């Protein structure tokens, strides 16, 4: 069983709606091998499936037919197990529909991952009223970009525009890229709330070479993503 810290109901419903939906009684089974992960999932639904049945069906489809990578080698989707830290940001101005929550972690090779989403998807916010208005949600790329820009100084989101050789460090939205030092991942890891070991599946939004503090060190990868779920494993 999983103990969810974050579960995006909106993403589950959106993706499940594209599967066509199961019949009155459908059995799903899929074997997957993502890096060192080996798992078999099975679920049975009768009648209208619940949220966790829908999540299982969505995961099965993603693992079976979508590119799934890791923090070190990101693909369209990123699966991982690693210690994460989190920080909750205030609403990013009048145009924000929700508060943003950021999760960050780093692999043993130094690759960083920053995941951002809407705070209403935290399990502690499960009973919160629905968000009113037409503002941007930080679960999407535009809303998350707005939140990161609004609090760039506080979370250290600024990344040098060029590397040591004068090349663009990250040509698209450099302020979003988690670099090795003085980056969102570094700041969240050092000042955020440690969650411990977590399992997660997230949709990649952007990735590229992050900044390194030494010109001869291997260039780490920095990735920005939005999570489908984050669950505690400790």
Average pLDDT on 189-216 reads 76
Q: What is the pLDDT of residues 12-54, one digit of tens each?
A: 999 999 997 544 344 444 444 544 444 444 445 457 789 999 9
Tokens 């089974």 correspond to: 29
pTM, two decimal places = 0.69
Helical H segments across 17-158, by residue range: 51-65, 141-150, 152-155
Number of H helices, E strands in the chain: 5, 9
Token readout for 39 is 């798992």
Q: Is a pLDDT exceeding 70 seen at residue 176?
A: no
More confident residue, 223 or 212: 223
Cα 91 off chain centre by: 19
Token readout for 138 is 């930080």
Domain ranges of the chain: 3-68, 77-232
pLDDT for res 15: 95
Specify whether the CB–CB gap between 72 and 109 falls below 8 A: yes
Q: What is the pLDDT of residues 58-67, one digit of tens each?
A: 999 999 999 9
Give the mean pLDDT of the chain. Answer: 70
């Amino acid at each position: 069983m999983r103990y969810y810290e974050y579960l995006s109901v909106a993403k589950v419903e959106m993706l499940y709606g594209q599967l066509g939906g199961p019949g009155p009684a459908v059995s799903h089974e899929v074997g997957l091998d993502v890096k060192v992960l080996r798992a078999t999932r099975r679920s049975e639904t009768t009648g209208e499936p619940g949220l966790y049945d829908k999540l299982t069906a969505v995961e099965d489809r993603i693992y079976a037919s979508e590119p799934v990578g890791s923090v070190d080698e990101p693909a369209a989707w990123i699966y991982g197990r690693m210690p994460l830290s989190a920080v909750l940001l205030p609403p990013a101005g009048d145009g924000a529909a929700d508060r943003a929550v950021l999760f960050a972690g780093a692999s043993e090779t130094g690759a960083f991952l920053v995941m951002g989403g809407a705070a209403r998807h935290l399990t502690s916010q499960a009973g919160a009223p629905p968000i009113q208005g037409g503002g941007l949600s930080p679960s999407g790329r535009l809303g998350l970009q707005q939140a990161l820009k609004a609090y760039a100084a506080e979370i250290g989101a600024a990344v040098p525009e060029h590397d040591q050789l004068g090349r663009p460090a990250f040509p698209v939205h450099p302020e979003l890229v988690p670099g090795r030092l003085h980056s969102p991942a570094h700041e969240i890891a050092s000042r955020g709330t440690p969650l411990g070991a977590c399992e997660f599946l997230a949709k990649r939004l952007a990735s590229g070479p992050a900044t390194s503090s030494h010109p001869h060190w291997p260039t780490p990868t920095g990735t920005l993503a939005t999570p489908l779920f984050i669950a505690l494993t400790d």
